[in-house]
Chain A
Amino acid sequence: MNRAAVAVDRLEKTLGPNKVLRGISFEAQAGEIFGLLGPNGAGKTTTLRIICTLLSPDAGTVEVQGFGTRTAPEEVRRRIGVVTADIGVYPRLSARENIEYFGRLCGLESAELDRKVDSVVERLDMGSFVKQRAESLSSGQKQKVAIARAIVHDPEVLMFDEPTSNLDVLASKEVREFMVEVKGRGKCVIFSTHVMHDAERLCDRLTIIHQGLVVASGPTDEVRGDRRDLEDAFLALVEAK
Chain B
Amino acid sequence: MRVTWIVYRKELQEILRDRRTLLAIGLAALATPLVLFVISQVSTKTATQTYTVGYSGDIPTGLDILLRAASLRFVPVPDPAAAAKSEVDLGVAFLPGEIDEYYDPSRQGAQIADVRLQTVLGQYQAAQAAAALQSRGIDPGILTPLKFVSHPLSSPVQAASNAFLSFFLPYILITMILTGGFSAALDSSAGERERRTLEGLLLTPAARSNVLLGKIAAITTISLVAAVAAIGSMFVALSQIETPGAGPSANHITLSPAVVPVMVWLALLIAVSFSAVTLALGTLAKSFRQGQAYVTPLYFITILPASLVLFVPDFNPSLAYYLIPILNAVLVLRDAIVHDSVGWAPLLVTTASLLATGALSWFAALRLFTREALLTRS
**A residues lining the B interface (CB < 8 Å):** 15-16, 49, 52, 54-56, 74-75, 77-78, 80, 82, 84, 86-93, 97, 101-102, 104-107, 146, 149-150
Quick check: is B87 within 8 A (CB to CB) of the other chain? no
* Shortest distance between the CB of B109 and any CB in chain A (Å): 53
| Residues in chain B near residue A89, CB distance under 8 A | 195, 197
Smallest CB separation, A69 vs chain B (Å): 12
Is B205 a contact of A146 with CB atoms below 8 Å?
Answer: no
In the complex the two chains form, what is the Cα distance from A80 to B203 in whole Å? Answer: 9
- 17 A–B contacts from the bound complex (CB under 8 Å): A54-B202, A55-B375, A55-B376, A75-B205, A77-B203, A80-B203, A82-B200, A88-B196, A89-B195, A89-B197, A93-B10, A93-B14, A102-B200, A102-B204, A105-B201, A146-B200, A149-B200
User: Known contacts A55-B376, A82-B203; is A88 also within 8 Å of B198 by CB?
Assistant: yes
Residue of B nearest to A46 (CB): B376
Q: Does B6 belong to the interface (CB within 8 Å)?
A: yes
B133 contacts A by Cβ under 8 Å = no
Quick one: CB contact mask for B25-40 with A, threshold 8 Å, 1 for yes?
Answer: 0000000000000000
Q: Are B205 and A105 in contact (CB under 8 A)?
A: yes
Contact A55 B205, beta carbon cutoff 8 Å:
no
Give B residues with C-beta under 8 Å from A.
3, 6-7, 10, 13-14, 17-18, 195-207, 372, 375-376
Question: What A residues does B375 contact at CB under 8 A?
Answer: 49, 54-55
Residues of B within 8 A of A149 (CB): 200
* Inter-chain contact B372/A101, CB cutoff 8 Å: no
Decide: A105 and B6 in contact? CB cutoff 8 A: yes
**With A and B bound together, what is the CA distance between A234 and B33 in angstroms?**
71
B376 CB contacts on chain A under 8 angstroms = 15-16, 55
Q: Chain B: which residue is nearest A92 at the CB level?
A: B17
A90 adjacent to B196 (CB under 8 Å): no
Kindly identify which residue among A15, A16, A90 contacts B197, using a CB–CB cutoff of 8 Å.
Answer: A90
How many whole Å from A135's CB to the nearest CB in chain B?
10
A-B contact count (CB 8 A): 68
The answer to whether B195 touches A91, judged by C-beta atoms less than 8 angstroms apart, is yes
Contact B14 A86 (CB under 8 A): no
Report the bound CA distance from A54 to B371 in whole Å: 9
Closest to A76 in B: B205
Query: Using Cβ atoms and an 8 Å threshold, which residues of chain A touch B14?
Result: 90, 92-93
A92 — which chain B residues lie within 8 A by C-beta? 13-14, 17-18
In the bound complex, CA of A127 to CA of B18 (Å): 26
Contact indicator A87/B196 (Cβ below 8 Å): yes
Contact present for A54 and B199 (CB under 8 Å): yes
Question: Complex formed: what's the CA distance from A208 to B17 in Å?
Answer: 46
Partner of B204, one of A16, A75, A105, A146: A105
Report whether A101 and B198 are in contact in the complex, using a CB–CB cutoff of 8 Å.
no
With the chains together, A197 CA to B7 CA distance in Å?
41
Assuming the contacts A55-B372, A93-B10, asked whether A105 and B199 have C-beta atoms less than 8 A apart, the reply is no
| A contact residues around B197 at 8 Å (CB) | 88-90
- Nearest CB of A to B260, in Å: 35
If the complex has contacts A55-B372, A90-B14, A101-B10, are A78 and B205 also in contact, measured as CB distance less than 8 A?
Answer: yes
Separation of A150 and B199 alpha carbons in the complex (Å)? 12
A78 vs B3: C-alpha distance in the bound complex, in angstroms? 14
Known: A54-B199, A74-B207, A105-B201. 20 other contacts (CB 8 A): A16-B376, A49-B375, A55-B375, A55-B376, A78-B205, A82-B203, A84-B199, A87-B196, A88-B199, A89-B195, A89-B197, A90-B197, A92-B17, A93-B14, A97-B13, A105-B6, A105-B7, A105-B205, A106-B205, A150-B200
Q: Do the beta carbons of A104 and B205 come within 8 Å of each other?
A: no
> Complex formed: what's the CA distance from A49 to B376 in Å?
10
User: Is the pair A105, B13 in contact by a Cβ cutoff of 8 Å?
Assistant: no
Residues of A within 8 A of B201 (CB): 105
Whole-angstrom distance between the alpha carbons of A187 and B6 in the complex? 28
Instruction: Determine the chain B residues whose CB is within 8 A of the CB of A86 once the complex forms.
Output: 196, 199
- Bound complex: CA of A91 vs CA of B19, how far in Å? 13
Tell me the complex Cα distance, A146–B196, Å: 11
**Nearest A residue to B5, CB-CB:** A104
**Residues of chain A with a CB closer than 8 A to B17's CB:** 92
Q: How far is the CB of A155 from chain B (nearest CB, A)?
A: 10
**Which residues on the B side are within 8 Å of A84 (C-beta)?**
199
Q: Closest CB-CB distance, B4 to chain A, in whole Å?
A: 11
Q: How far is the CA of A197 from the CA of B372 in the complex (A)?
A: 33
Given contacts A56-B372, A93-B13, is CB(A77)–CB(B200) below 8 Å? no
Closest to B7 in A: A105
Asked if A104 and B6 sit within 8 Å, CB to CB, the answer is yes
Which of A84, A90, A97 has most B Cβ within 10 Å?
A90
**A58 CA to B195 CA, complexed, in Å:** 29
Which single residue of chain A is at the shortest CB-CB distance from B211? A105
The 10 closest A-B CB pairs, nearest first, are A88-B196, A105-B204, A88-B197, A92-B17, A86-B196, A77-B205, A78-B205, A74-B205, A105-B206, A104-B6
B372 to chain A, nearest CB (A): 5
The distance from the CB of A153 to the nearest CB of chain B, in whole angstroms, is 9
Compute how far the CA of A74 lies from the CA of B202 in the bound complex, rounded to whole angstroms: 10
In the complex the two chains form, is A88's CB within 8 Å of B195's CB? yes
Do A101 and B6 form a contact, CB below 8 Å, given A88-B195, A91-B195, A93-B14? yes
